[in-house]
Chain A
Amino acid sequence: MLNAADIDALWLTVQVASIATVLLLLLGTPLAWWLVRSPSRWKGICNALVALPLVLPPSVLGFYLLILMGPKGVVGHITTELGLGTLPFTFTGLVIASVLYSLPFVVQPLQAAFAAIGERPLEAAATLRASPLDTFFSVVVPLARHGFLTATILGFAHTVGEFGVVLMVGGNIPNKTRVVSVQIYNHVEALEYEQAHWLAGGLLLFSFTILLFMYGVLKTQSVAQPFK
């Protein structure tokens, strides 16, 4: 069965993933909107940057984060100046790494959802003298709700599934950076297969269920098109 350290790791994972998901939505929403609406010529570069974690091995991301956030790195200098210390081996560092790592999984579904809305609803709202902010919250958000749902689920699930980056910047500290994927890896390496099975099997079931839910809900709802 699960021991106390396993439960700690699970609880920590839930905390990291929840906080990262909230931050991802706050950051990803304006970013995705800008990427869809803006005529800026920087868009191509931004799109490429956002998509980088999809193709980069976590070892690359982890390596650069370790250096950047370390005492000799640019980010490390700034955080030390701010009195925060350096971020590797901390819960905050882990959340920041997760946000970067899961960014495309949140931004891309939102981008797709925003793009699918098209001009007409926005023009209609404008003729009714809705402010841009009002338009966004009363028109765009409801219309893009599937996008938000997908983004939330993928952002959360992908953060739960994060391993390589955590291994490199985490330092395997109980209750701070030892998340469930690292705990499973430790069990496997220590040949504690029974313990590993409990966690690994649980994670498999969780991931499948959450994806099944996502595809199930989206399948039944995406047929409904409010402007037809």
Chain B
Amino acid sequence: MNFKALTTVVSALSLFLVSSSSEAASTLVAVASNFTKPMTEIAEAFEKSTGHSANLSFGASGKFVAQLENGGPFEVFLSADEKSPKKLAQDGFAVADSQFTYAVGKLVLWSAMPNYVDTQGQILTKGGFKHIALADPKLAPYGAAAVELMQNLSVYDTLQPLFVQGENIAQTQQFISTGNAELGFLALSQVIENGKLANGSGWIVPATKHKPILQDAILLKTGVENPAASALLKFLKSPEALAIIKKYGYDLTEK
């Protein structure tokens, strides 16, 4: 390529970048681990439909709150609970009236082994395993829901000595999928594929057995000026996004 051609390409490219950046923006999003798969898919759809892009960072909701209260750069927060966004708004880090429930989580008792967990979850009373994994109930809503379930089934005291706790729900899955824990509690979204369990065996815990896991999103103060941030929150309520959320086994709030 000669020099002239190169400059043409470079100037054309820079023109393109300049013109596109004036319309399309990018936003930094903190996403609860359990929402990793659907959010990756939603971000792609978001980019296609709006031209904006979303950079996703996954982790435990509690950790994000700590980071955000200490100058974390995220502009949108998709929490695994409704408490964390509320706290951020109260502490002045988020816009209170932007908070809404984007998904209702479903808890699953899952094992990497086929035919290990029965579809009624009776294994919890039968026992026969050495470890049962859950996300730290103090930090993770799915962990807290699992504890509530076990208390309702009156098996908490017998199972508690067998607990192994992941720092977040993704790490909990590692414990189970490597076989180190025979079974454990996860978010349904982590193990579902095309409407059914991708592998292993599981019991989808009926929503009546614990308080609903309301997962709320909120706009952070850092994202108020960014059109991509508010566009993403709006997109989360679009039929396209809702279909993806539903596909991963979440319930939707009744409107």
Contact = CB atoms under 8 A, between A and B. Distances in A.
Interface of A: 66-67, 69-72, 85-86, 88-89, 167-168, 171-173, 185-186, 188-191
Q: Which of B69, B139, B165, B178 has the most CB of A within 10 A?
A: B178
18 contacts: A69-B180, A70-B178, A72-B178, A72-B179, A89-B131, A89-B164, A171-B164, A171-B166, A171-B175, A172-B165, A172-B167, A173-B163, A186-B136, A186-B138, A189-B62, A190-B138, A191-B62, A191-B65
Nearest to B172: A171
Interface in B165-206: 165-167, 171, 174-175, 178-181
B237 interface: no
Interface of B: 60, 62-63, 65-66, 69, 130-131, 133, 136, 138-139, 163-167, 171, 174-175, 178-181
Contact of B60 (A89, A171, A172, A189): A189
B173 to A, nearest CB: 12
B77 to A, nearest CB: 15
Contacts of B139: 186, 189-190
A51 B170 CA distance: 30
Given A89-B180, A171-B131, A189-B139, A66 B164 contact: no
Contacts of B180: 66, 69-71, 86, 88-89
Q: Is the interface of A mostly helix, strand, loop or mixed?
A: loop
A167 B178 contact: no
Contacts of A172: 136, 164-167
A67 B112 CA distance: 14
